[in-house]
Amino acid sequence: MEIYFQEPLVEGIFIERLNRFVLICELPSGEREKVHLPDPGRLKDLLISGCRIWLQESKDPKRATKWSAVMVHASELKLYVSLNTQLPNRLILNALQNDELEEFKDWQLVKPEYKVGHSRFDFLLQHKQNEQKLLLEVKSVTMVKNDIGKFPDAVTARGVRHVEELTNLQADGSYQTAVLFVAQRGDIKAIASAPEIDPEFANAMDKAAKKGVQFFGRTCMVTPERITLTGRVPVHAENKKKD
């Protein structure tokens, strides 16, 4: 499953980050513009001053910024990494609609953005042979350490809450539950939590796995033309604390 970018992206140069969602980038013309950043993560290993960054122009006159960041090029790795946290959900939606995910071959999509209590989960699935329901949450991964994709890249109270709620729903038998990490890059061998960044999420993920929440991982191939969902990778859900 793949998504093609509707219009050619413009290659610029990353200058600096003003805040979580705004960058300063230099366009091919030499002009410097404020650019919207869809990924609120720290991205310290990716957003390095002077790196190549691909931008998309917005046609919405009401937007505060004319441009959006789409991907960067990690020159040392000769690798493109997507910066759009909405793309994994689009990829997984398309894959579920076309029954292309081996890990969910026994399930069919019922509804995206399904509300349970006060929370909204990314997808509701139903087993093909019975009435059993499964809640699926998708998380975007961009950070890598020693070939391991790490999540989260910044403290995520919302992510902790979602995983804890999935754990409770799994434990009381209301739903089957799962988390699918989608790495927006192609150079990882596995995915794990990042307790050095968010120990609460790491602990929540560890407890969830022990209660039966399933964890899956996928990688992507990224180019300036498209992003493609590729192979499966294992997820190390246990939080191995160092003595």
Which pLDDT value is given to residue 243? Answer: 37
Residue 185's pLDDT band (boundaries 50, 70, 90)?
very high
Percent of the chain with pLDDT over 90: 87
Q: Tell me the domains of the chain and their CATH numbers.
A: 6-82 (2.40.50.580), 87-236 (3.40.1350.60)
> In angstroms, rounded to a whole number, what is the distance separating the alpha carbons of residues 36 and 53?
12
Distances (CA, A) of 18 to 15, 34, 37, 151, 155: 10, 9, 10, 23, 19
Is the overall model pTM greater than 0.75, yes or no?
A: yes
Which pLDDT value is given to residue 6? Answer: 78
Looking at every residue in the chain, the average pLDDT score rounds to 94
Across residues 188-193, what is the average pLDDT? 97
More confident residue, 117 or 201: 201
Across residues 91-118, what is the average pLDDT? 95
Which pLDDT value is given to residue 240? Answer: 62
Which distant-in-sequence residues (6+ apart) come within 8 Å of 5 by Cβ?
Answer: 56, 70, 224, 225, 226
91 residue type, one letter:
L
Which pLDDT value is given to residue 60? Answer: 83
